[in-house]
């Protein structure tokens, strides 16, 4: 009986992602949307994206930008401090350009199958478990870039306290020392070779932002906990 339950659950997990992709293809065909991001400039919205979203929603799927890191709003939102330092005309021009890019980004999310998730509670849980169980080596390598961004922005004045907290929770500081060098190699691989530069930049910036926020709050425990999770990501990235 237990084996049957395990088999049924495995089949459920394997089918969830496939069903979503098949539904997206059906919706894209129905909307007459055959465009990829390589065919249209990123700052222009893809044709038929609204119709695709309506179709997906009608079949039980909704948009969630956290599903697609490369298409998150924070990838192109300007730094408030840098924006404030600009002159009025330049700031207005930069703001207008950002708004156009954000509108285009929102449209591209509608045209990207990975940006959708099921609307039902149970289906959401299945998707979460699926991602946890089947995280690929590439996913871990991309995530390691975020860890390296985090390390690059860690507050120097909290260094000693962070290292002591790492030791306390069973993670010697030496365990995180190799992360930046390895992540740097992945940056080159995914940016140059695999054309995922936007995603690489988004993950790096996400790590930097998280470190700065925790640093401002003096959250030594939070920083140490984050770094500890990065050691698991490191092992997954190298296939350990």
Other C-beta atoms lying within 10 Å of the C-beta of residue 87: 8
pLDDT given for residue 2 in this prediction = 43
The structural domains of the chain, with segments of one domain joined by +, span 2-133, 137-238
pLDDT given for residue 134 in this prediction = 47
pLDDT given for residue 164 in this prediction = 93
pLDDT given for residue 9 in this prediction = 44
166 neighbors 227 (Cβ within 8 angstroms): yes
Q: Which residues of the chain have pLDDT under 70?
A: 1-18, 32-45, 69-70, 74-75, 78-79, 123, 125-135, 240
Cα 161 to the chain's mean position, in Å?
29
What is the distance between the alpha carbons of residues 122 and 128, in angstroms, rounded to a whole number?
Answer: 10
pLDDT, tens only, 17-56: 567 778 888 888 877 655 554 444 445 667 778 888 899 8
pLDDT given for residue 180 in this prediction = 92
pLDDT given for residue 128 in this prediction = 63
117 neighbors 62 (Cβ within 8 angstroms): yes
């Amino acid at each position: 009986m237990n084996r049957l339950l395990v088999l049924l659950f495995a089949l459920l997990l394997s089918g969830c992602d496939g069903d979503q992709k098949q539904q997206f293809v059906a919706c894209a065909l129905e909307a007459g949307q055959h465009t990829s991001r390589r065919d249209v400039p990123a700052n222009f919205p893809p044709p038929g994206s609204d119709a695709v979203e309506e179709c997906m929603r009608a079949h039980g799927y909704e948009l969630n930008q956290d599903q697609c890191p490369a298409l998150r709003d924070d990838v192109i939102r300007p730094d408030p401090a840098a924006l404030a330092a600009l002159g009025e005309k330049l700031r207005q021009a930069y703001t207008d350009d950002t708004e156009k890019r954000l509108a285009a980004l929102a449209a591209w999310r509608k045209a990207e199958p990975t940006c959708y998730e099921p609307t039902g509670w149970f289906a959401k849980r299945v998707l979460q478990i699926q991602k946890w169980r089947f995280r690929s080596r590439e996913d871990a390598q991309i995530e390691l870039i975020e860890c390296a961004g985090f390390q690059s922005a860690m507050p120097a004045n909290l260094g000693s306290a962070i290292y002591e907290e790492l030791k306390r929770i069973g993670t010697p500081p030496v365990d995180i020392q190799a992360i930046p060098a390895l992540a740097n190699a992945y940056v080159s691989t995914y940016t140059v070779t695999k054309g995922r530069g936007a995603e690489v930049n988004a993950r790096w910036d996400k790590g930097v932002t998280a470190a700065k926020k925790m640093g401002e709050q003096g959250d030594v425990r939070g920083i140490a906990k984050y770094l500890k999770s990065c050691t698991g990501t490191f092992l997954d990235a190298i296939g350990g």
